[in-house]
Amino acid sequence: MTSENQPGEDDAPLETVTFEITEVNSPQATSAVCAGLQGLNGVRDVQFVGGGALVTFNPLGITKDEICTAIRRSGYRATEISTEADKG
């Protein structure tokens, strides 16, 4: 998934947040969540693992709360489990 960058956005270190997402256990569910996150400023990647998702994002472009709200708007309940800065 790609999104348009704002000036200076590539300079900030990316973070990865892990969300537990209820009932995201089918291709239709993952597609709905991806559609809800697609195009959001700052979201760089979404990977589904187990009963949740790892979302890599630029904190200058979007907050964890905004990501969580977008997941909820796609029809699924999301709870933040952890966040870590990407090392690289």
pLDDT digits (tens, 9 = 90+) for 1-45: 444 455 455 567 899 999 999 888 899 999 999 999 998 999 999
Domain ranges for the chain: 9-85
Running DSSP on this structure, what letter comes out for residue 82?
E
Report the pLDDT value the prediction gives residue 51, as an integer from 0 to 100.
87
pTM equals 0.81
Q: Which two tokens stand for residue 12?
A: 């900030």
Q: Cite the DSSP H helix spans in the chain.
A: 27-37, 64-73
Q: Given pLDDT bands bounded at 50, 70 and 90, which one contains residue 50? A: confident
| CATH class of the domain whose range is 9-85 | alpha beta
Report the pLDDT value the prediction gives residue 2, as an integer from 0 to 100.
43
Report the pLDDT value the prediction gives residue 67, as an integer from 0 to 100.
97
